[in-house]
Amino acid sequence: MIYIVAEIGINHNGSLTIAKDLIDVAINCGCNAVKFQKRTVEQVYSKETLEIPRESPWGKTTGDQKKGLELSLDDYDKINEYCKNKIDWFASCWDIQSQEDMKRYNFKYNKIASAMITHLEFIKQVAIEKKHTLISTGMTQYKDIDLAIEIFEKESCDYTLMHTVSTYPTKDIDCNINMIDTLKKKYNCKIGYSGHEVGLLPSILAVTKGATVIERHITLDRSMYGSDQAASLEPEGLRRLVRDIRSIETISGNGVKIFSDEEKAVAKKLRYFE
């Protein structure tokens, strides 16, 4: 079964209530997991960057905005309890401290965001946990992917490479879904797709190409404040995506030739020479 991840990311806008609403959307649509993003703001961004003027619902600087978009560990404790026995959840961390903080939840999977794939010290910290890791490949060249894979293989940590294009939203002409075939052939491993397009078709095509994981950002409303909202699926779009992926799985079958009882009955009627 294809593993479908609803990427909440920072689309909760710092609100535990919105986060829970988005978890409910993912559960109701039949997703396998929800994923968040976790940052230690003071470590990820320089003091100069945090002081840059920027109007947002949380204040007048970039620092106000970045801090406003973060959930606290107390919030994540509540999310962990909320998801229990309902849906898998995990997080892509953007610094080593966040990765350490999130260990307490014993996630089934880890995730390397495209922004972090060249941070080799961070990648090693993730790989030594030896949890199956989804590795997004946006903003990379092959040499970047090679170095990341080398670390994961050295640490004997299983992984899935995620074809990703880091533009928000991604234009159809840039989706390049045939890269799934290319990555599969080059690296001989499981390949997934993390999409940032507006529609559904690239994600559907990724499934037909053999993607084992599909990840899409979700939102309650694409008009909400936030850099990822416009590249996200609203609840109805997510419902349709999950429906179509499960239909593809059913329609594709197992590739074994079967002469079913139903067909035998038809053959008895139509094959007059038998």
What pLDDT shows up at residue 271? 87
* Mean pLDDT, rounded, for 82-96: 97
Task: Answer yes or no: is pLDDT of 267 > 80.
Answer: yes
* Mean pLDDT, rounded, for 222-236: 95
What is the band of 44 on the pLDDT scale with cuts at 50, 70, 90? very high
* Mean pLDDT, rounded, for 55-65: 96
* Mean pLDDT, rounded, for 17-36: 98
Residue 35 lies in a domain: yes
Q: Of 145, 169, 244, which Cα lies nearest the Cα of 203?
A: 244
* Proportion of the chain above pLDDT 70, given as a percent: 99
* Mean pLDDT, rounded, for 42-57: 96
Residue 212 lies in a domain: yes
Q: What is the pLDDT of residues 136-194, one digit of tens each?
A: 999 999 999 999 999 999 999 999 999 999 999 999 999 999 999 999 999 999 999 99
CATH of the domain at 216: 3.20.20.70
Residue 79 lies in a domain: yes
What pLDDT shows up at residue 272? 73
Task: Answer yes or no: is pLDDT of 273 > 80.
Answer: no
Q: What is the pLDDT of residues 237-255, one digit of tens each?
A: 999 999 999 999 999 999 9
Residue 146 lies in a domain: no
Q: Which range marks the domain in which residue 194 is found?
A: 3-106+160-270
Residue 84 lies in a domain: yes
Residue 197 lies in a domain: yes
Are residues 49 and 21 in contact, defined by beta-carbon separation less than 8 angstroms?
A: no
Residue 68 lies in a domain: yes
Contacts of 193 (CB under 8 A, 6+ apart): 162, 163, 164, 177, 180, 202, 203, 206, 211, 213, 214, 215
DSSP string, 171-233: PHHHH-TTHHHHHHHHH-S-EEEEE--SSSHHHHHHHHTT-SEEEEEB-S-TTSSSSSGGGSB
What pLDDT shows up at residue 274? 60
* Mean pLDDT, rounded, for 76-96: 98
What pLDDT shows up at residue 28? 98
Are residues 30 and 56 in contact, defined by beta-carbon separation less than 8 angstroms?
A: no
Q: What is the mean pLDDT of the chain?
A: 97
Looking at the 3D structure of the chain, how many domains does it have? 1
